[in-house]
Structure 1
Amino acid sequence: MALDPVIKHTVAGRTQDRAAPARGALKWGWGCLFVCLTVCAPGMALATGGADDAVLLPSGETAQLQELIQENLGEALIARFRFVAPWIAGGTDYDTVAADMENICQTYALGRLADIDMHPTQVIISLSAAESKFGVATPEVTQFFEAFSLSDGRCIWEPF
């Protein structure tokens, strides 16, 4: 038994025969999905941390990738690498944390960006004493942030 490819369609009270699109009825659905993902998710989490995303730092401590967020701000593309580092809750000094964040940018972020073929204008590295939700104030959690521009394959510190 052959399937009838004709679809009945009603417009203004009149029934019209319409054939399914040449590549199937789902073609329009994929377009909707693309538009939704493009419009609804300008800042999108690209990856979450796993056991292989633990980074050994120059201070001797480790940091675990929580997420990588791609953020489009007009012409600028920003890559936010958010790490969890419980050891910063103990009142560590800023110079140690700053050196660790520069190292994360140089040795981890640049490689990860190359792997996923992302070319941001700025990289932001954050260390947090505990997991936190992006964009939500959590004053009870110690956090450090540093911004870096990228030039000639190097991370250049930029003051906020």
Structure 2
Amino acid sequence: MKRILLCLLLPLLFLPAVGAIPVEELVKNPQEWDGKSLTVRGEVVGRLEKKEGVWLNLLDNGWPLGVWCAKELAREVRVIGDYKHVGDTVEVTGIFHAKCREHGGEPDFHAENLKVVSEGYAIRRPMNLLLLTLSLFLFLAGLSTALFLRLRRREPFWGYSPESF
């Protein structure tokens, strides 16, 4: 019985670690992960189309990572994160390069597989009426003060002199 259990559990030791590696770990220890096949997860906050492929910028707990992928893989990404949107959260499997020779020696991640884990959505940001009113009041107060001080001077103001009023 023990031999059967051992035979069943032994292969589990050789399986790779399940789950995504935090981008922070890749950025802090790039040489440790260089050239290895990994899975990372993050929100897509940028997209740049090139002839050969697509750059996606992932953000994972404030840590960015550039991901180079084929155009077919990038088609799955629908929402890019910005001020008004939370981007798609993706899980990318590929090879991490601490100093990528193909892309100028910068650290990057070459995607082999991309899966959208959760779709992005629009963020509703209600307008703060108190802040808008206060801003408008301060703008008008500043403008009227500037005009008043300018009219008190004896120099012409936009082609008008104080005597012409």
| TM-score normalised over the length of structure 2 | 0.24
TM-score normalised by the chain length of structure 1? 0.24
- Structure 1 or 2, whichever has the larger Rg, is 2
Q: More helix by proportion, 1 or 2?
A: 2
